[in-house]
């Protein structure tokens, strides 16, 4: 099944840096404690383990592209995050929200979108997806595409 295949591929190339491995998966809580401990040891404020609240954490765009499909975002939003009037899904590629706003909405959507808990979609996966969406260039304006003006 293609969904399962994409999920397996995404898992293969997931960035296994310290932050990602600690913050995601079944070891998340223990990892978080370790990270706090490491931060204290290094004398760094915990907040600096992540970027500022309006900036996206480090994400792997290549992995995010696979996750967009594997985690079903594309079902409503399209493979390039273009959105769809029929599903009511907003355009998310490139994203119109900051990462915090994006994450907040995904976890606790206001309208029809199904909620994605961190259990179903770990924070790092979400960051990867966001990185992919950020990598999508803005298209030309509609008025500049001749076929759209007939």
Partner 1 sequence: MAKRTKPVVDRRDFLKGAAAGAAALAAVPASIAAEPAEHKRVVPPPMSAEAEVEVPSVASVLTADRTGSDFMVDVLKSLGFEYVCANPGSSFRGIHESIINYGGNKNPEFITCCHEESSVAMAHGYYKMEGKPIAVLAHGTVGVQHASMAIYNAYCDRVPVYVILGNIIDATMRVPGVEWFHSVQDAAAMVRDYTKWDDLPISLEHFAESAVRAYKIAMTPPTMPVVLVADGELQEDAISPDLKIHIPKLNAEKPPVGDAGSVAEMARLLVAAENPVLIADRTARTPAGLTCMVELAEALQCSVVDQTGRMNFPTRHPLNQSDRARAAIADADVILGLDAADFYGVTHTYRDQIDRGARPGTKANAKLLTISSDDLFIKANYQDFQRYSEVDLAIAADSEATLPLLIEAVKRITTDDRKRAFQDRGARLKAAHMQTLERSRDAAAFAWDASPISTARLCMELWDQIQNEDWSLVGATTFVSRWPQRLWNFNKHYQYNGNAGGYGVGYNLPAATGAALANRKYNRLTVNIQCDGDLMYAPGVLWTAAHHKIPILHIMHNNRAYHQEVMQVQIMADRHSRGITNCGTGTAITGPDISYAKLAESMGVYGEGPISDPKDLGPAIKRAVEVVKRGEPALVDVVTQPR
Residues making contact with partner 1 (CB under 8 A): 1-4, 7, 70-72, 74-76, 78-87, 89, 91, 93, 111-112, 114-117, 119-121, 139-145, 147-150
Q: DSSP strand E in the chain: where?
A: none
CB 149 within 8 A of CB 111: no
What's the min distance (Å) between Cβ of 34 and partner 1?
A: 24
What number of other Cβ atoms are within 10 A of residue 50's Cβ? Answer: 17
What's the min distance (Å) between Cβ of 2 and partner 1?
A: 6
Distance CA 102, CA 86 (A): 21
What's the min distance (Å) between Cβ of 85 and partner 1?
A: 4
Is the CB of 74 or the CB of 130 nearer to partner 1?
74
Residues comprising the chain, all counted: 150
């Amino acid at each position: 099944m293609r969904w399962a295949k994409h999920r397996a591929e995404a898992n293969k190339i997931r960035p296994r840096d310290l932050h990602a491995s600690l913050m995601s998966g079944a070891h998340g809580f223990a990892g978080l404690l370790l990270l706090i401990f490491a931060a204290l040891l290094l004398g760094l404020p915990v907040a600096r383990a992540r970027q500022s609240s309006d900036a996206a954490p480090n994400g792997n765009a290549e992995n995010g592209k696979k996750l967009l499909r594997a985690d079903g975002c594309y079902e409503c939003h399209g493979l390039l995050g273009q959105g769809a009037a029929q599903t009511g899904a907003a355009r998310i590629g490139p994203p119109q929200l900051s990462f915090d706003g994006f994450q907040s909405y995904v976890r606790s959507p206001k309208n029809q979108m199904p909620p994605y808990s961190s259990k179903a979609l770990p924070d790092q996966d979400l960051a990867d997806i966001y990185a992919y969406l950020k990598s999508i260039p803005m298209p030309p304006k509609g008025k500049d595409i001749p076929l759209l003006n007939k």
